[in-house]
Amino acid sequence: MSSTSSPSSVLVETPLRVVGTRPVRPDGIEKVNGRALYGADVQLPGALQGRVLRSPHAHARIRRIDTSAAAALPGVRAVITARDLPPAPDRVEEMGDRTTSLRYVTDNLLASEKVLYQGHAVAAVAATSDAIAEAALALIQVDYELLPVVMTAGAALAPGAPQILPGLRAERMGQRDPQPSNLASMVRHERGDLEAGFRRAKVVIDRRFRTETVHQGYIEPHATTAICQPDGQVTIWATTQGIFSVRSQIAAVLQIPLAHIKVIPTEIGGGFGGKITVYLEPLAVVLSRKAGSLPVRLVMSRTEVLTSTGPTAGSDIRIRMGADASGKLTAAHAELYYEAGAFPGSPVGAALVVSFAPYACATMRVDGYDVIVNRPRSAAYRAPGGTNVAFGVESVVDELAAALSIDPIEFRLRNGVKEGDLRPNNEPYARIGHLECLRALQQTEHYRSPLTGRNRGRGVACGAWGNWGGQSSATAALNADGSVSLNTASTDIGGSRASIAMQLAESLGISYEQVKPRIGDTDSVSHNDVTGGSRTTFATGWAAYELGQKIAAEMTARLAAAWKISAEAITRKSGGFASGTQAVDFAEAARIACDDEPLMVSVTVNPKLYGAGFSAQCVDVEVDPDTGKVTIVRYTIVQDAGRAVHPSYVEGQMQGGVAQGVGWALNEEYVYNERGELLNGSFLDYRMPTACDLPMIETVIVEVANPGHPYGVRGVGEVNIIPPAGAIANAIHQATGLRMGALPMSPPRVLSALLARKNGSKGCGAVSQG
Amino acid sequence: MQAFDYLPAVSVDEAVAALAAGGAGARALGGGTDLIAQIKEGRRSVARIVDLKRIPALAEIKFPPEGGAWIGAAVTCRTLNQHVEFKRRFPGMHDSTHLIGGVQIQGRATIGGNLCNASPAADGIPNLIAHRVRVHVAGPAGARVVPVEAFCVGPGRTVLATGELVVAFEFPASPVRFGAAYLRFTPRNEMDIAVAGAAAAVELDDAGQNFKSVRLALGAVGPTPLLVESAGPRLAGQPVNDASLELAGSLARAVAKPITDMRGTIEQRQHLAGVLTVRALRLALDRARGTRTVDALGRPL
Ligand SMILES: Cc1cc2nc3c(=O)[nH]c(=O)nc-3n(C[C@H](O)[C@H](O)[C@H](O)COP(=O)(O)OP(=O)(O)OC[C@H]3O[C@@H](n4cnc5c(N)ncnc54)[C@H](O)[C@@H]3O)c2cc1C
């Protein structure tokens, strides 16, 4: 890593020409005309079609699996079960979106002793056609011994609850519990004397909240094709947020050296955190090996995606906050119980850091519990854990502000964090744009306009997300005509090919159109962390910036040699190079520089000063008092982008995060029966919003440059999903007088609360006292 | 997806024979927007499919001079949505035919399929009931006519015997000062299935002040779409006012016997049966009177 990573500001001083413009994306045409290749589009000659047998039960012991009839079916080339995977040690490794035991990862791929959720994979087949593979699944006999199911954190932690993971003992603030339970871990951050803080308060609000399991809902189902050659060399086509993460997960699970695995990315139809964990890829490799090295293609159905890939955690949350008469917070306390699903690793750790992140408060305690239940293993989902806890915190803050008769934005400004203040985990903030976002929201036409119409309400909420840097590597080759080939290996989910190429163009002083970005496979460049944590435009973009600096330096050196002068005598002028009377444009300089030897540079980075992102949002809703249906009438999102490299893509991220947040707030939830069977495993009944359910989402980009990036970039992908549920809950309160205590705030829940108020009882979904 | 035989029939007799020969494993095919999806998802196993779309009798649209309409069972929603004369005679039916799926689905989805699929939540059936439609059936034992409210006998189950198919729908002539409407409730504005639905058809007296007749039907609040039988006798002759509308709502609530599932709760559906009935009535009243006092969802302006 070069010297640009010094802890103080690394912002470049020169005016920017490319960053901040809105050029056409390099992958746009292919995606619009349908030629772009996605995971399921990979069709190799002779490929076998695979299918996965999944448990119909949410919790059962596998007594026996008989695959003989399936294996004997003509056309079936391989059948595998957990026995075909190498025995996994209980060794903790970095695996995809978490650090966890290899045993858990392997057991999630193919269940060994027990199935832990409906949809848990138990076997897989590869056959000469999909129909044969499907028929073969029906021939696999699995003898299950049913076990009692445990579906919620409350049930899992109740005394005498059935133990889901045998022998699991909680790690509680660094100490192992003596007794096994369904608690995987408990973490606390705290500062100050909590009860003394609450004693200083004039108003204390103490509330409990519940949120349900929701899925990322990416449009492209998981799909892969893999070949395992007789010599053990593996090639995998994957639709993934990180090809290197796929590689390392396969290497660990199947015990193959990293260099023997090549992962080739396809285009990706969304991931939002859900396409980091591998589900199909290791199975395809093992099937291919067993089937004599034929390629094996595996594609999930939508129902498999919903039952068997990671959604994000449902949660039980308690939020207690106190404020003095001047509206200053005196104490804040959160207890978060997050449902990890069948294996440890809910996003409760991240949620603790989100919790009171926008609020400066000297006295704080946040407790997080990671709880095992018989649901699919949760996976990362856009600002993992943030929406759940912010729903609670922003609802309570709204109540506090109302109780003290303070405008909700004013209340947030009075308590808002700025540089030097502490996050809930007691790390100080660098320069951040929280107050700027709140003030910008205050100034929007939306917030200043009066609320009109019957049954309407307005709500505001804010949120913070820490963002991430991570490792990136990239290479660039200067071509003799002055064009530049840029090679990265960061999955482009949201337009990052363009925003990374723009940073190289900016750094090199050329136009965006002169740079051709490509996304290579795992053999093309070195390690790249996943596209996740809002890191790619920040970190891979930084690598691109450095590539530009290196190319320019090398071109200067070669020109100096050609011109027989010292490099210091050469200056840059409007993209070209000049010295005294000599001046060449960039293309001519490239021709000279590449004359005798090719020019290629490579960069590796791991930038650390990624800078937190903030968002403030305002929503107007209309609640139909007869049906409980909530309609989003108007929505404005303000977000600090640090610097918006490609403002259209920043706006797209902001709108996308809000759209997902609206779905989470209003209708999305996993609905299970008492046996733990998912009842709504389709996009018909898992109700994500469609375009008909959303107004145009208005965006305001705030730019408080991140001093930790040459162009001031902050991650923009995630923080936008944190505030919507809280903002909508607050708007529903204004429209109806009801405080909703559970997500989703769906028509039956809102109606129930409305009817209960009419009848003088408490409806389901209404908020409960802590 | 399992393999099946595909037989395109060109006459009613041929279709009846093919269905009868196929027995329980044979299904008629209209647009396939229900059937193909069910086969793909493994919810229905079918050995033989008899395609009805090429049978001229099932594609007929006729308007008897005395009023009413005769609509072949394989006529698509899209055809009806674009049919000027049908819309002029039965504007209330449009509430259903334009709700079923989007334009692409409507281009394939038939009214016959909507009825014969016998979903309790089908958006077409309550409206057909409100319109007093008679279903013309052909089968191995000859032809028969079934009142549409008696057609469905359970979720996915109808009165049709093996080998029988629906040929056409007979819409009786509408009286003067007649109005009909159908409304459903869905959490999403599109791509959703009715949590509850209500259809209303009213005939008013000459002054437009009193109900001459009322027919109410409900969807998704019982094992089949339901006719609210008490509404006719209780509301005929009553003045049109808030009290009579509220009475209609309570009659609907009393008939509704909903379940709780992933799409809605008993409490919600029971309540919606009343709300949607009142709203559909208001919309039907506006149409009977040529006034505009409510919005497209039947809510007072
Ligand atoms: C995306 C999508 C959205 C949809 N939205 C809606 C909606 O909003 N509201 C709604 O009500 N429905 C909806 N549907 C369901 C479906 O489109 C309708 O029920 C449609 O009217 C079915 O007609 P079809 O011609 O496609 O029936 P098919 O699928 O061809 O047949 C359905 C059933 O009826 C039988 N059948 C068909 N015709 C006859 C006949 N003449 N005689 C005897 N049996 C017959 C078939 O054997 C089959 O069992 C939707 C479907 C899809 C895929």
Note whether A621 and A576 are same-domain residues: no
Share in percent of chain A as helix, strand, coil (round to 5)? 30, 25, 45
pLDDT of amino acid B48: 97
User: Distance from A336 to chain B by nearest Cα, in Å?
Assistant: 27
- B42 at interface of A, judged by CB pairs closer than 8 A: no
Contact across the interface for B268 and A752, Cβ inside 8 Å: yes
Alpha helices by DSSP H, listed for B23-93, are 35-40, 77-82, 84-89
Residue B301 is assigned to a structural domain of this protein: no
The whole-angstrom distance between residue B157's C-alpha and the CA centroid of its chain comes to 15
Other Cβ atoms within 10 Å of B288 Cβ, number: 25
Cis peptide before A344 (omega within 30 of 0): no
Which residue, of A576, A605, A634, is where some domain finishes? A605
Instruction: Please answer whether residues A149 and A71 qualify as being in contact, where contact means their C-beta atoms are separated by less than 8 angstroms.
Output: no
Domain check: are B254 and B161 in the same one? no
Which residues lie below 8 Å from residue A405, measured CB to CB, with a gap of 6+?
Answer: none
**SS3 state at A721:** helix
Short-list A750, A150, A240, A337, CA closest to A531: A240
With a cut of 60, say whether residue A6 has pLDDT above it.
Answer: no
Model confidence pLDDT, tens digit, residues A654-694 = 999 999 999 999 999 999 999 999 999 999 999 999 999 99
For residue range A334-386, list pLDDT tens digits in order.
Answer: 999 999 999 999 999 999 999 999 999 999 999 999 999 999 999 999 999 99
Residues B134 and B239 reside in one and the same domain? no
The answer to whether A613 touches A718, Cβ cutoff 8 Å, is: yes
Paired tokens of A402: 């109302």
B108, amino acid identity: R
Is A480 part of any domain?
A: yes
Chain A residues with CB-CB distance to B268 below 8 A: 628, 747-748, 751-752
Does residue B51's CB lie within 6 angstroms of at least one atom of ligand 1? no
CATH code of the domain covering residue A717: 3.30.365.10
Residue among A458, A490, A2 at smallest CA distance from A243: A490
Regarding whether A524 and A485 lie in a shared domain, the answer is: yes
pLDDT at B73 over 70: yes
Q: Specify whether B136 is located in the same domain as B266.
A: no
Cα B117 to middle of ligand 1, angstroms: 6
Q: A404: distance to nearest CA of chain B, Å?
A: 35
Selection from A747, A717, A741, A443 nearest residue A621 by Cα = A747
Q: pLDDT band for position A766 (50/70/90)?
A: low
Ligand 1 geometric centre to CA of B277 (Å): 24
Gap from B1 CA to chain A (nearest CA, Å): 7
Nearest residue, CB atoms, B192 vs list A624, A687, A746 = A687
Is the Cβ of B271 closer than 8 Å to some Cβ of chain A? yes
Token reading at A579: 């010295």
Q: Are A57 and A374 in contact (CB under 8 A)?
A: no
CATH of the domain at B18: 3.30.465.10
Q: Within this chain, do residues A760 and A682 fall inside the same structural domain, yes or no? A: yes
Number of C-beta neighbours around residue B16 at 10 A:
22
Q: Domain containing B183: what range? A: 178-288
Q: Using 50, 70 and 90 to split pLDDT, how confident is the model at A5?
A: very low
Whether B45 and B20 map to the same domain: the answer is yes
How far is residue A537's CA from residue A646's CA, in Å, rounded to a whole number?
Answer: 10
The answer to whether the CB of A467 falls within 8 A of the CB of A674 is no
Whether residue A743 sits in one domain with residue A616: yes
Q: Are residues A122 and A244 in the same domain?
A: yes
User: CA-to-CA distance for B142 and B276, rounded, in angstroms?
Assistant: 39
Residue type, A227: I
Using CA atoms, how far apart are residues B216 and B249, in angstroms rounded to an integer? 10
Q: Which DSSP category does A25 fall into?
A: P
Q: Does A755 touch chain B (CB under 8 A)?
A: yes
Q: How many CB atoms lie within 10 A of CB A172?
A: 14
* Domain end call among B146, B171, B196: B171
A766 within 8 A of A733, measured Cβ to Cβ? no
In the DSSP assignment, the letter for residue A645 is S
Of B118, B148, B171, the one marking the end of a domain is B171
Given a contact cutoff of 8 angstroms between Cβ atoms, the answer to whether A603 and A550 are in contact is yes
Residue A751 has its nearest CB partner, among B193, B263, B268, at B268
- Judged by DSSP in three states, B217 sits in strand
CA distance A268 to B54: 42
* Six token digits for residue B241: 């006012």
Are A627 and B185 within 8 A, CB to CB? yes
Q: Shortest CB distance from A679 goes to which of B261, B264, B275?
A: B261
**Confidence (pLDDT) at A144:** 98
Kindly compute the dihedral angle of the four CA atoms of residues A563, A564, A565, A568, in this order, to the nearest 10 degrees.
Answer: 80
Q: With helix as H, strand as E and coil as C, how does A467-480 read?
A: CCCCCEEEEEEECC
What span, in angstroms and rounded, lies between the C-alpha atoms of A723 and A96? 26
Phi, psi of A559 (to 5 degrees): -60, -45
Asked whether the beta carbons of A10 and A709 are under 8 A apart, the reply is yes
Out of A555, A579, A605, a domain closes at A605
Residue B294 lies in a domain: no
Sequence-distant (≥ 6) Cβ neighbours of residue A406 within 8 angstroms:
A327, A414
The residue-averaged pLDDT of A437-449 equals 98
CA A299 to chain centre: 22
H/E segment holding residue A602? strand A599-605
Q: Which domain holds residue A573?
A: 28-36+469-605
Candidates A131, A628, A690; nearest CB to B191: A690
| A530 token code pair | 């996943």
Q: Which residue of A has its CA nearest to B40?
A: A301
Let me know if residue B159 belongs to a domain: yes
Count the residues in chain B: 301
Cα(A316)–Cα(A157) distance, rounded to whole angstroms? 12
Same-domain status, A616 and A597? no
Rounded CA-CA distance A684/B166 in Å is 28
Q: What is the CATH number of the domain that holds A141?
A: 3.90.1170.50
Backbone φ and ψ of A639, nearest 5°? -145, 140
Q: Which atom of ligand 1 is nearest to the CA of B29?
A: 30
On whether both A634 and A708 belong to a single domain, the answer is yes
3-state secondary structure of A374: coil
Report d(CA A609, CA A429) in Å as an integer: 10
> A338 with A157: CB under 8 angstroms?
no
Instruction: Summarize chain B as % helix, strand, coil (round to 5).
Output: 35, 25, 40
Residue A761 confidence (pLDDT) above 90: no
Q: Can you list the positions of beta strands (E) in A606-745?
A: 613-623, 630-640, 697-702
Predicted pLDDT at A1? 37
Cβ neighbour number for residue B54 with a 10 Å cutoff: 14
The two beta strands, A234-238 and A315-323, are unpaired
Give strand pairing partners of B217.
Answer: B199, B227
Q: Is the predicted pLDDT of residue A770 greater than 50, yes or no?
A: no
Same-domain status, B153 and B197: no
Question: Average of pLDDT values for A441-450?
Answer: 98
Position B2 scores a pLDDT of: 80
User: Of A292, A308, A324, which one is at a domain's C-terminal end?
Assistant: A308
Q: Is residue A183 part of a domain?
A: no
How many angstroms separate the alpha carbon of residue B77 from the centre of ligand 1? 10
Q: How far is the CA of B156 from the centre of ligand 1 (A)?
A: 11
d(CA A544, CA A464): 27
Best to test chain B binding among A622, A626, A684, A761 (most B CBs inside 10 Å)? A626
Residue A314 lies in a domain: no
Tens-digit pLDDT profile for residues B156-213: 999 999 999 999 999 999 999 999 999 999 999 999 999 999 999 999 999 999 999 9
Please indicate, yes or no, whether residues B84 and B142 belong to a single structural domain of this protein: yes
| Cβ(A83)–Cβ(A122) below 8 Å | no
The answer to whether position A394 is within a domain reads no
Instruction: Assess if residue B231 is contained within a domain.
Output: yes
Judgement on whether residues B16 and B146 belong to the same structural domain of the protein: yes
> Are residues B167 and B19 located together in one domain of the fold?
yes
Residue A123 Ramachandran class (φ > 0 left, ψ -120 to 50 alpha, else beta): beta
> ipTM score here?
0.96
Asked whether residue B249 falls in the same domain as residue B269, the answer is: yes
Residue B293 lies in a domain: no
Q: How many residues are given for chain A?
A: 770
The whole-number pLDDT of residue A764 equals 55
Q: What is the pLDDT of residues A159-175, one digit of tens each?
A: 999 999 999 999 999 89
A267-313: per-residue pLDDT in tens? 999 999 999 999 999 999 999 999 999 999 999 999 999 999 999 99
Same-domain pairing of A728 and A595: no
Mean pLDDT of B109-123: 98
pLDDT tens per residue, range A415-436: 999 999 999 999 999 999 999 9
Report how far apart the first and last C-alpha atoms of chain B are (Å, whole number).
49
The CA-to-CA distance between both ends of chain A, in Å, stands at 49
Q: Are both A113 and A252 inside the same structural domain?
A: yes
A653, A509: one domain: no
pLDDT band for position A767 (cuts 50, 70, 90): low
Mark whether A514 and A436 lie in a shared domain.
Answer: no
Mean pLDDT of A611-625: 97
Q: A759 vs B121, which has greater pLDDT?
A: B121
How much is the pLDDT for A633? 98
- A749 is a domain residue: yes
Ligand 1 centroid distance, CA of B174 (Å): 26
- Please name the amino acid found at residue A70: A
Distance of alpha carbon A62 from alpha carbon A111, whole angstroms: 8
How many structural domains comprise chain B?
Answer: 2
Q: For residue A767, with 0-12 CB atoms within 10 Å meaning exposed, 13-18 middle and 19 or more buried, which class applies?
A: buried
Residue B300 placed within a domain: no
Please check whether residue B49 lies inside any domain of the structure: yes
Examine the domain organization and report whether A601 and A619 are in the same domain: no
pTM higher than the cut 0.90: yes
Residues B167 and B188 in one domain: no
Give pLDDT tens digits for A62-99: 999 999 999 999 999 999 999 999 999 999 999 989 99
Clarify whether residues B149 and B240 are in a common domain: no
Last residue of a domain, one of B171, B194, B219: B171
- For residues B275 and B140, membership in a common domain is answered with no
In a domain, B298, yes or no: no
* Count of structural domains, chain A: 3
Query: Are B262 and A751 within 8 A, CB to CB?
Result: no
B181 close to B197: Cβ distance less than 8 angstroms: no
Residue A294 lies in a domain: yes
CATH code of residue B204? 3.30.390.50
